[in-house]
A and B are shown apart, each in its own frame.
Chain A
């Protein structure tokens, strides 16, 4: 939001009253179009920094999961008990852990990364920009 003081770029018109706030488009998004009668002079330049978005335009949220990749076997039982975690799913070398009671997951990840059999431990995220097509 800190880049939004693009005051010079603001253009006030009621022609753009339509909003598209739903996260799921039941149909292809062709209904909502910019007012084509506006001339190029109505359009202002954006701040370059505004576009340097590491998430490529995605709306990213954490899911409350930790995704762990293992090399070999790890006994998660005592670790999970200590941190109040549970294994919600696993596949091959990947395990998904979830907190039962709001444990600080960043702290857990730091501890996991110190374990010799753990190849990676990351805070899982969901891309909320994924929509029905």
Chain B
């Protein structure tokens, strides 16, 4: 029952200094995009940056990314056996890879 999702993921710390990387992720129907990102980190590249806390419950609301140009929660978007493009939120400041500055200004620490 294993299918393959072909993910194209933005890597880098700014919009003009980065690249797209490609990953083939085996999955079983029902799994989430966040499951795939966690699988990539564990099996290939732990430096891939993605923000999440609650993993599966859609409670922390931290894992917002753009999937094929649409804002989604990575934990509730489902993987599919096709090309999927994963990018950081385009309307937020990029921190690294899929991580953007999503905290309200009053909750940010400014070093």
Q: Do A and B bind each other?
A: no
Residues of B within 8 A of A (CB): none
